[in-house]
Chain A
């Protein structure tokens, strides 16, 4: 399977705990995006990477959130001191970048986070 993969698929945690999600993009894709999707809504942009550089962060990304892409390959999204409002589906997407012909973003299956 050469698509975008995300792990874990589901995570249940207690409020106040830290969680970390992983995304493996399509191998030759330079851009990696994180989105959050709550029930009944479309995905909302959180942050994106061009290779290993994190170039933009949404206002949705509070100080409790941090994302990394250390070698320009896989990425991790960590949420510290989780709150019930963090319950959502966290989606990762990747794209080739480098020009208009390569702007399609391909999404992974998502990690569904439930904070109890």
Chain B
């Protein structure tokens, strides 16, 4: 069963628009970790953020912000005032504690295209 669902396959915006990427996850663990990664055209996955299941505080880092809601099993990501350099594939991922391996289960990704 898919543990992480990113329903949006592609999003295209004009520069300076805000864009929100949805992520819904599924787990039976009470302790788990959620991540967002960025994969630019060069291909290398870049770590953006980790959120622990016991910390529901939203976070802002520059133009990036994250909204974690356990009640809806969602961990959404917003880019404010998007720039062309934000064009990439963004992945949401889940790491569960029960197996102690902390492997990442990724969603299928959302391709964001920011047009000048």
Chain A contacts to B: CB under 8 angstroms: 31, 33, 35, 40-45, 48, 55-56, 89, 91, 93, 95, 100, 103-110, 112
Contacts and interface: CB of A to CB of B under 8 A. Distances in A.
14 contacts: A33-B104, A35-B104, A43-B104, A43-B106, A48-B101, A48-B103, A93-B45, A93-B104, A103-B33, A105-B47, A105-B104, A107-B37, A107-B45, A110-B44
A104 B50 contact: yes
Nearest to B93: A42
Number of chain B interface residues as a range: 20 to 34
B35 interface: yes
B44 A109 contact: yes
Name the 4 nearest CB pairs between A and B, nearest first. Answer: A42-B106, A107-B45, A45-B103, A109-B44
Nearest to B111: A40
B52 A56 contact: no
Given A33-B103, A104-B50, A109 B108 contact: no
Nearest to A107: B45
Contact of B47 (A41, A42, A91, A104): A104
Interface of B: 4, 33, 35, 37, 42-47, 50, 52, 91, 93, 95, 99, 101-109
Contacts of A44: 106
A42 B89 CA distance: 10
A93 B45 CA distance: 9
Contacts of A112: 43
